[in-house]
Chain A
Amino acid sequence: MSVAEQTPEVRVSQPKMPPKRNGRWAGYRHLLWARMLELKREPEVVFWVFVFPLLLAAGLGIAFREKPAGASPVAIVAGAGAQQAESLLENSPQHGSFKIEVQDDAAARKGFRLGKYDLVIKPNNAGGLTYLYDPARPESVLARSEVNDALQTAAGRKEVIVTSEVVSSEPGSRYIDFLIPGLLGMNLMNSGMWGVGFALVDMRQRKLLKRFVGTPMRRGDFLLALMSSRLVLMVIEIGLLLALGVVFFNMRVLGSLFTITLLGSVGALCFGGVGLLTASRAQKIESVSGLMNLVMMPMWIFSGVFFSYERFPAVAQPLIKALPLTALNDALRASILEGTPLLHLWPRLLVMASWGGISFLLALRWFRWT
């Protein structure tokens, strides 16, 4: 107390400038801005959110690019009749679509087992031929029917119905067209879950959340800013992937950009909500990582990212369709590939909105700030 009496100097904390007044949304604006700055300055985020999905799409797109059906590798088992079968095939009109090798029985079978040959042709004792093929391998089935056609035609079979062919290989039905909307959906899930969930637990662990609630900051604004930062990133994510598809793979985007962005927003918010719920109580990064993977794993597998979920048994279909990533992927594919208008996609939007909304409400109830 004596100190104050001895030094009656001017009050330093008297504002030298007129005090500024913060408006209702100042906190929200600064939170969002700070979040964007942090993301921009984190090289890992830039890589995982933007570069990795592009690499994945490019890699898979190149691996599964459409190529004219190549020559089918076919083995003929050496022995009586092998010579004749070979010359028939060589002289058939379709001879360009086979690559023929004559092998002994064991080598031919081994090659077939390893996928080196699609079909093994074995002359039998009756003067005919036996086909060894695998009905579960599409290329094997194809080779069998092509070879059979070629042999029969070369041996003099006449077609009884006159047919003609039109070649159709349009963008929209290729694997890359299927893949890119799936990757978009998966990326929105990954970055939504990590971007919200991981960030929250990290801030909780650093006691930053506790420090924030020690200020008059509105808690809703904080969560809103976190979600909004997801929307900004979502626009960039979608833009980059679609641009990759259009520029490098001649993808055709039929739906309007507005519809696609809106679907992306609903998806980003939905997974933001799920991420919020996953991270609502966890105190440590390690525990939230496990939880996140547990939540996302079923969707990576079942929601039709890399292959159609129609391949799973019919019993599982309603469950699969109830997953939020399935809804997002379906809606994105319908819009991008088929141009389905937004109004027809409402069941998908409802699924996502329910997941996001219910998660968000539960998260608010359970959320641990300190």
Chain B
Amino acid sequence: MPTPILNTKLYVPPPRPEVVFRPRLVELLNENLQRRLTLVSAPAGFGKTTLLGEWAAGCGRPVAWLSLDEEDSDPTRFLVYLVAALQTVAANIGEGVSGALQSPQPPPAESLLTALLNEVSSVEEDFVLVLDDYHVIDAGAVDDALTFLIEHLPPNMHLVVATREDPRLPLARLRARGQLAELRAADLRFTPSEAAEFLGGVMGLSLSEKDISALEARTEGWIAGLQLAALSMRSRADTAGFIESFTGSHRFVLDYLVEEVLQHQPERVQSFLMQTSILDRLSGPLCDALTGQEGGSRTLQALERSNLFVVPLDDRRRWYRYHHLFADVLQARMMEKRPDQAPALHRRASEWYEQEGLPEEAIRHALAAGDFGRAAALVERAVPAMRQSRQEITLLGWLRALPDELFHTRPVLSVGYAGALLLGGEIEGAHARLRDAERWLDTAANPARPEPPSAEMVVVDEEEFRRLPASIAVYRAASALARGDVPDTVKYALRALDLMAEDDHLGRGAAAGLLGLAYWASGDLESARRTYAGGMAHLQAAGNVSDAIGCAIALAVIRIAQGRLREAMRTYERGLQLAKEQGDPTMRGTADMHVGMSELYRERNDLDAATQHLLRSKEQGERAGLPQNPYRSRVATARIREAQGDLDGALELLHEAERLYVSDYHPNVRPISALKARMWIRQGRLGEALDWTRERGLSPNDDLSYLREFEHITLARVLITRYESGLTERSIHEALGLLDRLLEAAEEGERTGSVIEVLVLQALAHQARGDISMALAPLERALKLAEPEGYVRTFIDEGAPMARLLSEAAARGIAPDYTGKLLAAFEAEARRNGGELPLPASPASQPPIESLSRRELEVLRLLGTELSGPEIANELVVALSTVRTHTKSIYRKLGVKSRRAAVRRAAELGLI
């Protein structure tokens, strides 16, 4: 279930008849539209929402509106609603972002926002986004997201934030850059003439100038105060007496006036107002459920007509809310007069919302009622949907609000809690919850258990209960994996698969993923491969294509280690195919497929194709990439640069990749630091390579494990190079000894990819000692294994010594076709590198660039023509300033400073 969008949150409050038109403020808002942000910051009751509603109706631009509430402090929920609000302006905006938010591993907020901003910048019209009630947000993550949004705001969007307190945004910086406009209490308060117009013109009261200024002084221009005062006076004859006693009183304006207004309401209305004051949103049927009476809709409409502080939340007059201040006073009155009523009212609201199928509100009211049993039941049923829609923070908030002892008798809820805790890394807490749940399962399985729990077990979601033993096993496997306990991961994941129904595809996919990881980490590649392949099929069957694509990465990487390059390529291709069949060719993970394919093409020495796929990956956009894609794509680019002879550039990219590294639980079998050490070796920087072996604590006598295989092979390379630089004779013996053991381990683990590299190194080690015939034996084996899979770079990356060995092999008739091909590749490379000219910078060797928006691409194409700036603006029917903004953004993204450079770079990248 995706987050249900409450449309009432997106409703732009229409101008109301009984308000003062405020041209000076409307003008101020209009004048500042070219800045990025307008901050409307003033206490409650200063007419912020009313003013913005009035302005929105006449500002001549489409306005997207989002009324925030406390739950929006959950960043996922905030983004979901942000997108929904933007969609009221441009219907198809952000669909990809919403999709990514629902995916099991959402990308970081910044990349989602970047994708969203790109789409925003392609909206044809200039528009406004209003975030109302921002003060309810209490989350640094949301503040950060908003800051990022403002810093990168496209020129066609203006943001308005209305709040009771200054938000945690870089206001000083925005102010200094002239990007911020502010409306504060001093601007918003009624001026004496506005007060006069309101009281006389709008409310139809005939008051003397003296009376008006007395009221203005007493309320200090506070609009809510003046409005209440006017309402009080309308319903009484003696306005003079009212003004005298009101201005003579020290009582808090709100207390005084609400009392006044309420006293003139019939008892029935007073009681309606108090009972319904506990609601955030009011509808007729909901109010009826609370009051036990009928006619709630009529009462609400009557309240709206008499301006009694209800605000409509839609055009159809179905939903209303009280003005926040009024609701506060009503609630305080109720707590004073009928304190015992509140829980019952909340319970009725909870029941009503439950019947309406709105579990979130039902849970909130159940918690407010202190009816934890009810809340627990509702939460238990809501867990699967909340998890699927990635609202774990909200879910955890509910779970933490429930008393601990409640979980002891509720195994399903307890396991749901464990799942939410595990995601937050709270392993200890999760275990306690799993143990609680298991007690009940043990009892169910073995009724004769000596100490049955004293209380009754409570299960709401029977289906989840039947699945519980399997769910518990999955969570135990996940926590074992997080601890790095491979045997336990395997044990629990196998148990889970054993317990799961054959058609529980999602469950089976998850368990298979964990099991595959465990096998992989322990070096049992064939089991890992089979498990992943099965898991991928289940995820596909469950319709979870994005995760199935994630599986494809693991599968392909394992295939490469097994030396099955062609299979690996097919796996990537199938991943892309799946996305295409799903109708979403830029689905998350597809960018990673292209990066993987690039690496395979590089190995085949088809550097053009490798470069093409890196470009494709970039063009797919950030949304199409998993969180690991930024570092993986840099590693792939580094390897291409290496092949082109640009070792410094390659190292630079590896440094970057190291900084961007994020784990995805896949065993880190090819650490970036080892890749850097290999680059140092090629550069002859032996000292740094040796330092690396010491830092990593590597020694030729180490026990070998698959997880450190890549590092140990790198160590063997360091040792050979050390011998070649004449430093020590011992090194070559150590290298050969280590390589022997590595070969044996790789053969045993059927890691043909590693076997080939180790054989190549053995050959090189023997050759370094001048023993050509000893060198040719392992080389022949390597060639035999590598030929069917089309390996090239594994050989030619080794440079001149390998070229000499291959010629020797060719002379002796070893694998003549293959050695011929490899030697030709050597020659081609030597020709390219041998000339005086430096290598031409190929497009892919540049660092990845931020993708350009559709609009920017249009501008870019016109930059390639003879048209002048104003002519381009004409052509695109936009303002010249808009063209300039796009141009600046294009320059930044392409890393250039002039039009000519931008066009040249764009041509290199194939953008025009």
> A and B, one complex?
no
